[in-house]
Amino acid sequence: MKLAPTTICSAVALALSASPLYASEQPHPSTAATSTDETMTVHAQSFDDYKVDSANGAMRTDTTMLETPQSVSVIPEIVLDEQLATTLGEALQNDASVSAGTQKWNREVFYLRGFELSSTNGYMRNGHSLFTHYMLPIETLERIEVIKGPSSLLYGNAAPGGLINMVSKKPTYNSMVNVGTDFDDLGSTRYHIDASGKLNESGSIRGRTVLVKQDSVENRTYSTRQERERDRFLGYGVVEADLSDWGLLSVNYEKTQDNAPLDSGSWLDTSGNRIGNRETIRDAHWSFIHNDVENIGADLTVYINNDWEAKLSYNSQEMTRHRYDSSPKTTDQTIIDGSYTLDPFDRHDTWKTQAFHLDLHGDFTALNADHKVLFGTNGQFYDYEQRRVSGSTINVNPGDIPTNPGLDYNQATSTYTDNNHFYGFYAQDLITLNDQWQVLLGGRYDMYFADGANAQDDVIKGANDSQSFSPKAGVIFHPSYNGSIYANYSESFTPVSNVVNDDNSITERKPEKSRQYEMGTKWELMDNRLLLTGAVFDIEKENISITENGITTQNGIQRHQGVEAGAQGQLSEKWFVMASSMFLDANFDKHDEYQDKRPANVPEWSGSAWARYSLTEKTALNLGVFYEGERWADNANTVKLDGYTRVDTGASHKISSDYVTWDFRFNIENLFDTEYVAGTGGSVSHDVVSDVHYGNERRFKLSVNATF
């Protein structure tokens, strides 16, 4: 795994050797952006390009990758389509800085640069924070931006590892309809339609809609011998309208219905051996989760003049979840005879999240320097309520079929509620001193308010209110027009809820605070068709909060130091590649329980590569290699998970006529049928690691698409 330093050194050496030739002949990236963007836009219309020139979520302005003093990777739609990806996890495998955790409760958890991404502040849709206790759909996305390092400057409450920003598809001027289906050897099916085009003769009003119906089958079974199946519906619509020549209005709606029986994963003993069969599901066959999610958003852009524009955006999300859980748990006898218990309950949850951004950005010249400034404010309002009833403990031996206790959350005698909200104000200035030097300065002030629940309201309310200032600074050196070397310093801030103890006492907890130092380099080669990146970083997080087995502790420091490298774009006329690698040294320090331990699910070495070779204009081959080194299954470092290398492959062929283009694709996931653990929940009880999730066995996938 010497890819990271080798890639960085090669990129810098090659680019620097060309610097004297180009530095005096080529314009600065900021002045060359127009011509470069036009060229790349034409190229992107061929739908062949892996390289993306900017990530709006990183700076919230139209800034190129070379002018962004931060590590960012972008996973484009073409890669998602080639991989027949249907989940966010299948998309994020393309970035080595992301590792997977638990998959129970019909959702996915990820770690970025070794820090867990929270379901309340780790993921964004078009720059707005989402609540993500469900399997996030990706069929509505045109790209996924992985923004690395603390990002509190623009978004407030955020984890130190970074953010995942999912960018939705937009309407097109030209009419387009794509319909298709894909299925696998287990019987899973997915049908979709994507239609876009102008809604009036002039094209000033445009629309797009995406509909998806999926029924997935997994090779895991309940005690009744039933296989686990997941049923999902996705509907998305967006309308975009030009408001004369002074503005642009966009309104969108997305609905997800996702139903599946529960699967809390496999179990391992402390020697790392699996308890029972890999296919065994210990959750009862009558347990399930029904998720219903609605997102409604609107964006208004006002063009003040040629240099200034304002943008107001709003998103409202409501998620309801009915979770009928059997909650399997280990006992002292589990290691001996495989027996366990069920602690069933029925609960209904409702999360409501409203978020807004108001940005004003523009360009001006002052003090012999060019300024690209951003002033903004954003906020989020979060409300939650839960109703729950519990049943009696059920003892289960291997092979037993437990009886449904018939619980009903409507019989709950009380409702648990929680709500919080925050406001933030931020300013950012990208200063261009000359053709070679740029400086980024920014700061943010946050106010966070949280209310407690029920009988504890009067005690907790106000106790968890927080305020914070988050600075960010960076410097960029351009040794030539096609490269940059940068350094940055940034901080992040995460409020932490208070804890109500068993004796009704309250422990007030401090906000988690993080800081990062990062140095990196970015180079555009091969006539701007290939982007090479590299970065080294040092992140420290204090007042870390860890919740395990229902108990929350807060103390100590997490220190993560690492090296990243990436390559994305076109290597030659026929070769395209998206590759990344990371080395990460991560550990707990000054911690009462986990001193010098490594966080769970965080490998030291990781790498990924996905490539396409075009045999002809119509036929192409794909090859993917995904590697994760050894990891610990838990924070106490009790069980070590083996490293693994998974190989995927595929082939595609197009048949075109005057009216329709047919696209046929055949993929093999996990070509060599490698057995590996994709991630765990990180908990150990009675010498058993539960919540262990294996990667898919070898799977054959076939898709057929028609574009009109």
Residues 343-392 pLDDT 10s? 999 999 999 999 999 999 999 999 999 999 999 999 999 999 999 999 99
Lowest pLDDT segment from 1-5, 272-276, 370-374, 436-440: 1-5
Q: How many residues does the chain have?
A: 708
Given a cut of 50, is residue 151 above it in pLDDT?
yes
Task: State what percent of residues in the chain have pLDDT above 90.
Answer: 81
* 386-407 tens-digit pLDDT: 999 999 999 999 999 999 999 9
Q: What is the rounded distance in angstroms from the CA atom of residue 429 to the CA atom of residue 439?
A: 8
Q: What is the mean pLDDT of residues 139-153?
A: 95
Question: Residues 72, 95: contact at Cβ < 8 Å?
Answer: no
* 572-622 tens-digit pLDDT: 999 999 999 999 999 999 998 899 999 999 999 999 999 999 999 999 999
Q: What is the mean pLDDT of residues 529-546?
A: 94
Q: Are strands 123-125 and 162-168 parallel, antiparallel or unpaired?
A: parallel
For residue 208, which phi and psi values (nearest 5 degrees)? -155, 145
Mean pLDDT of the chain: 90
pTM of the predicted protein model: 0.90
* Cα three-residue angle 523-524-525, rounded to 5 degrees: 110
Alpha-carbon 216 to chain mean position? 22
Lowest pLDDT segment from 83-97, 458-472, 478-492: 458-472
* 290-336 tens-digit pLDDT: 999 999 999 999 999 999 999 999 999 999 999 999 999 999 999 99
DSSP designation for 607: E
Q: pLDDT band for 111, please (50, 70, 90 cuts).
A: very high
Q: pLDDT band for 549, please (50, 70, 90 cuts).
A: low
What is the full DSSP assignment across 503-524? TS-EE--PPEEEEEEEEEEEEE
Task: State what percent of residues in the chain have pLDDT above 70.
Answer: 89
Q: pLDDT band for 543, please (50, 70, 90 cuts).
A: confident
* 189-214 tens-digit pLDDT: 999 999 999 999 999 999 999 999 99
Q: What is the rounded distance in angstroms from the CA atom of residue 161 to the CA atom of residue 149?
A: 5
Given a cut of 50, is residue 179 above it in pLDDT?
yes
Q: What is the mean pLDDT of residues 223-242?
A: 96
Q: What is the rounded distance in angstroms from the CA atom of residue 685 to the CA atom of residue 579?
A: 38
